[in-house]
Amino acid sequence: MVFPTYLKRCVLSNIQRSPEIILANVCQQSRATTKNSNLLHSKYLDQDSDFDPITRPPKAAYIHIPFCRQRCHYCSFAIIPLSTTRKIATEVINERLERLQHRYANVITDEMEATADAMEYHMESQYVRKEPLETVYFGGGTPSLMEPEVLDQILDTLRRRFGLASDAEVTIEMDPGTFNAAKLNAYVALGITRVSVGVQSFDDAMLTICNRSHSRTDVLAALESVTRCAGLASWSLDLICGLPTQCLEHWKETLAEALTYSPPHLAVYNLGIEPNTRFSRKYEAGISPLPSEDDVVDMYTHTRATLVAAGYEHYEIMNYARSNHDRSRHNQVYWDNRAYHGFGLGATSYLFGKRFSRPRSGGGYAKWVGDVAQAVRATPPHSFALDVLGAAEAPWKGGELPADLLQDTIILGLRRKEGLDLHKIARIFGKEPAESIETACSPFRNAGLVRFVYASGNQAHDTARVVARTEWPWVQLIDPEGFLRENLVLAAILADVDRFC
């Protein structure tokens, strides 16, 4: 497919964000959105109890493991590098990790215990039913650096204090060169059901440019271990395109090699130049040696065409799955704007309509956990602890909804293949915001970037039911043209619904 020049401009930012970066940005926006916090009202919360940010405790947990052998040159995450260069001996790195991982596990499990205490207090006072976790995600950092017994300590605390559903998806990010078949099998024995392998590239030169700690040889060994592991329910192969000096032909070779392993899931991110990273001091997006914006769009469209032809479903802007079973259930919690726990250094949680980010330094995080644990265990629990853990009196009590809830639902939901459910938005936020979204999207529908899909599954509709507002469409970005222009569509929607926020 050949795209006109205007479709190739200004598309980078929406195809280069990992879930963690997107959610961090949403968290910052949420804290800034306070001016009209009482303008949104809903009479339908009791009828829509599946709207998790408001009505239920989370059934998902993100656990941040901050340790890395070294910081990648594109990384802006809250991490604790164990070295600054590949030249430091593995023995020295392992010695540092041994000292730190047990200490960190004690702090993060203290946070879990305090959160569980606060949640129990909240649920008793609000008559909220406790439900077990359905997804757990160990992200980082490099979680696969952790020894199995340390991971077991964390998982055991989750099971004991929050419960874990029998069919829960438990994912861990694993970097090549940090595990072998024996370690992977030990993780699976503890309850890991899915792994996300951070390959990023098969090319040693590209890996060196990015300051990745692994090599091509490590990648091949890691993928052999994963493909031979019988205990995994699914796994993902993660890649980055748009790396310095990379061209379309090189990317085609990378994607073709990835497909030889038949991964059930692929996550393909375009390189993002994040502030305060090594790359941000060396490169500017779209300017050599980074690929041009035209080249990045060509990589994106080639990826989509190749993976769809190979039988993958393009279910989110950057994610592809062999089947519905192979979708990341945990990441879908984010895109659906449902509630989730966040534990660990720099982690963000989303509890009862509130987003909260933990301190990003090791010392700051440990002190914060100590303060929160002490406040929670006071009699009665101190309001400071209940507030930061999301267990204070619900901000929506009395029918009021947080103003940023509508914005977050739009920003996150538009990234999905299914798009935005205007029927649900009308039911929760009122018909005026739903009509506003529909109106804002109409020009893009005419331009072939957006489609309206009705309950029947067709793009046609029953005019009488639509006029009477008993039928609402799903608003979906057309793949790939609409996904590439998501920022343009999103800006128009948010400008139109701003009066409701």
Task: For 251-297, write each residue's pLDDT tens digit.
Answer: 999 999 999 999 999 999 999 999 999 999 999 998 999 999 999 99
Q: Which two tokens stand for residue 251?
A: 């990317």
Taking the C-alpha atoms of residue 486 and residue 424, their distance in angstroms, rounded to an integer, is 21
Q: Is 107 a residue whose pLDDT tops 70?
A: yes
Crossing angle, helix 404-413 and helix 19-32, to 10 degrees? 160
Longest dimension (CA), the chain: 72
Handedness of CA 279, 66, 340, 354 (dihedral sign): negative
Taking the C-alpha atoms of residue 369 and residue 345, their distance in angstroms, rounded to an integer, is 10
Q: What is the DSSP letter of 50?
A: T
Q: Which two tokens stand for residue 216?
A: 């091509």
**If pLDDT is split at 50, 70 and 90, which confidence band does 352 have?**
confident
Q: 91: Cβ–Cβ under 8 A, 6 or more apart, which residues?
A: none
- pTM higher than 0.95, yes or no? no
Taking the C-alpha atoms of residue 189 and residue 231, their distance in angstroms, rounded to an integer, is 8
Q: Is 151 a residue whose pLDDT tops 90?
A: yes
Percent of the chain with pLDDT over 90: 68
Q: What per-residue confidence (pLDDT) applies to 419? A: 97
The full length of the chain comes to: 501
Q: Is 44 a residue whose pLDDT tops 80?
A: no
Q: What per-residue confidence (pLDDT) applies to 47? A: 44
**If pLDDT is split at 50, 70 and 90, which confidence band does 436 have?**
very high
Contact between residue 271 and residue 74 where contact means Cβ atoms under 8 Å apart: yes
The per-residue pLDDT of the chain, averaged, comes to: 86
pLDDT tens digits, residue range 58-85? 999 999 999 999 999 999 999 999 987 6
Q: Of the ranges 90-94, 192-196, 269-273, which one carries the lowest mean pLDDT score? A: 90-94
